[in-house]
């Protein structure tokens, strides 16, 4: 792409031109810059990209996009563009550079506090594994292009990296693009300019308030997906059992509702029966067709996930009988109510639940069919919303027979102080074991046949962040090693 094509963008304004050149790449990290790159100076959380403009020029950048014109370099043979919003500019320039690749695919964006990973994974699995179509997935656990997996750094990549991934998908002739869209991505404009064919809303509960500062701002970030990133003729699927979903649906065009509480919803579930092996319910479609559903997924929260999945596929023209058949094959996503069964009939659940609502959901689901005691192991992240810590303690206390408070990702905070915040909400028997491995082993040693051990907070993650170090740690590996050493697996 020639540098002059940038002149077509509304997000940037030309300050100074220079010699013509073919753009090699778009960079927001000066360390990655090479000759004929465009460097976008983004003011980040830890550092300001304007401070690295000179470094980018030394490495060969031929154009710079900046917000603060006080940093315009004296070097004459460089194109200079100004912008009111460097994040918008980065997204717009990257999309143009890669040829707006998302437009070539049918795209579905899923947002909400809980359930995003499960819903997006199941949508991808339906198209790629069940129907044999080309599909791509971007999400928390991994990014996938028709079976080829790539590691995920964030739930939603930075805009330039996201557009590069979309471009790979386009080259691989991906037909269906499934995106897990975080509130950070929406607030930080990582998907700015991407227009989805369909958008799904799962729920909104307390999380990320260290970033958003209030639930209202958190909600407004989520709302962006539906008001700015949904095509004019796109469809929205919204869980109206959630109070924020009830607000959202009033301001979204072409919206369809899903509910377990309101019979007038477009997709409504009732007659729910939970057991230790399966969940059954009746699904009413558009007030007419009633379908019996059987799934191996457990818990009320998974029923809503299945409902959103069905609605999205059905509205996109898939046959009801195919969707019902697919739902019957579903198993938990890694680290999402993942059940490890043992030879001595102790049930172990590994789940990513790291919010008060998510923790309450998995514990309520377990109590619905558990026979023995419920032992819960969890912690809270450091350098994050402190207000949710006692609320998580309260949720664990309400549904557990015994609670072990441990480390999650303490980061730069004192782990003991995090634990102290958590136990302010605990009113049942509990202990604090900060070493997560020791905490898990203690819980497994305590458990007896028919007991349930819930390991919450880490889910699929295979690391812990302690201080400024990221160390390898996996709840699943710890459990498997424990069970194998005792011939219980």
- Chain mean position to CA 424: 29
pTM of the model: 0.91
Name 281's bridge partners. 293
355, 205 contact by CB (below 8 A): yes
CATH of 338-485, one of 3.90.190.20, 3.90.650.10, 1.20.1090.10, 3.40.1160.10: 3.90.190.20
479, 440 contact by CB (below 8 A): yes
Q: Is the dihedral of CA 301, 306, 308, 309 positive or negative?
A: positive
Give the largest CA-CA distance in the chain.
75
pLDDT beneath 70, residues of the chain: 155-156, 206, 208-209, 211-212
Segment (H or E) for 199: strand 196-201
Round to whole Å and give the CA distance between 308 and 204: 15
Confidence at residue 45, expressed as pLDDT on a 0 to 100 scale: 78
Number of residues that this document lists for the chain:
489
Nearest by Cα to 41 from 24, 61, 23: 61
Nearest by Cα to 459 from 361, 352, 359: 352
Nearest by Cα to 393 from 356, 362, 351: 356
Round to whole Å and give the CA distance between 313 and 121: 13
Domain ranges for the chain, please list them.
Answer: 3-97, 101-327, 338-485
Provide the phi-psi class of 38: left if phi over 0, else alpha when psi is between -120 and 50, else beta.
beta
DSSP string, 32-49: G--TTEEEE--B-SS-BG
- CATH top-level class of 101-327: alpha beta
Contacts of 319 (CB under 8 A, 6+ apart): none
| Per-residue pLDDT tens digits for 162-194 | 999 999 999 999 999 999 999 889 989 999 999
CATH of region 3-97: 3.40.1390.10
What is the arrangement of strands in the sheet containing 338-341, beginning at the earlier edge strand? Answer: 338-341, 347-351, 452-456, 374-378, 402-405, 430-432
Round to whole Å and give the CA distance between 97 and 28: 14
Nearest by Cα to 69 from 88, 50, 54: 50
User: Which structure tokens are listed for 193?
Assistant: 């300019």
């Amino acid at each position: 792409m020639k540098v002059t094509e940038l002149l077509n963008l509304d997000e940037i304004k030309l300050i100074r031109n220079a010699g013509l050149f073919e753009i090699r790449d778009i960079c927001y990290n000066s360390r990655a810059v090479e000759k004929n790159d465009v460097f976008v100076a983004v003011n980040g959380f830890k550092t300001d990209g304007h401070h690295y403009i000179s470094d980018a020029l030394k490495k060969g950048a031929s154009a710079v996009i900046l917000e603060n014109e006080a940093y315009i370099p004296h070097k004459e043979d460089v194109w200079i563009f100004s912008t009111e919003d460097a994040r918008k500019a980065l997204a717009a320039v990257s999309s143009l550079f890669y040829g707006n690749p998302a437009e070539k695919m049918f795209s579905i964006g899923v947002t909400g506090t809980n359930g995003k990973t499960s819903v997006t994974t199941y949508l991808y699995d339906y198209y790629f594994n069940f129907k044999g179509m080309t599909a791509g997935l971007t999400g928390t656990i991994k990014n996938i292009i028709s079976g080829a997996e790539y590691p995920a750094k964030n739930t939603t990549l930075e805009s330039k990296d996201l557009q590069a991934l979309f471009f790979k998908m386009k080259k691989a002739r991906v037909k269906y693009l499934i995106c897990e869209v975080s509130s950070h991505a929406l607030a930080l404009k990582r998907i700015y300019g991407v227009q989805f064919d369909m958008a799904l809303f799962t729920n909104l509960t307390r999380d990320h308030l260290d970033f958003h500062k209030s639930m209202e701002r958190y909600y407004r970030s989520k709302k962006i997906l539906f008001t700015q990133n949904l095509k004019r003729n796109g469809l929205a699927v919204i869980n109206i059992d959630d109070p924020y979903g009830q607000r959202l649906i009033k301001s979204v065009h072409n919206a369809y509702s899903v509910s377990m509480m309101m019979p007038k919803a477009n997709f409504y579930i009732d007659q729910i029966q939970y057991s230790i092996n399966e969940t059954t319910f009746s699904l009413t479609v558009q007030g007419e067709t009633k379908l019996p559903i059987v799934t191996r997924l457990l818990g009320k929260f998974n029923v809503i996930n299945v409902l959103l999945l069905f609605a999205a596929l059905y509205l996109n023209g898939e046959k009801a009988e195919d969707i019902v058949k697919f739902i019957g094959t579903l198993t938990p996503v890694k680290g999402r109510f993942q059940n490890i069964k043992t030879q001595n009939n102790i049930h172990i659940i590994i789940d990513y639940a790291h919010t008060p609502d998510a923790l309450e959901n998995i514990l309520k689901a377990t109590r619905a069919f558990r026979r023995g005691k419920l032992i819960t192991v969890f912690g809270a992240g450091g350098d994050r919303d402190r207000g949710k810590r006692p609320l998580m303690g309260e949720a664990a206390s309400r549904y557990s027979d015994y609670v072990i408070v441990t480390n999650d990702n303490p980061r730069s905070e004192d782990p003991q102080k995090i634990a102290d915040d958590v136990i302010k909400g605990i009113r049942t028997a509990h202990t604090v074991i900060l070493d997560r491995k020791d905490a898990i082993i203690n819980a497994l040693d305590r458990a007896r046949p028919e007991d349930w051990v819930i390991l919450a907070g880490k889910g699929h993650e295979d690391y812990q962040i302690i201080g400024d170090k990221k160390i390898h740690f996996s709840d699943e590996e710890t459990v498997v090693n424990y069970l194998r050493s005792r011939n219980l697996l």
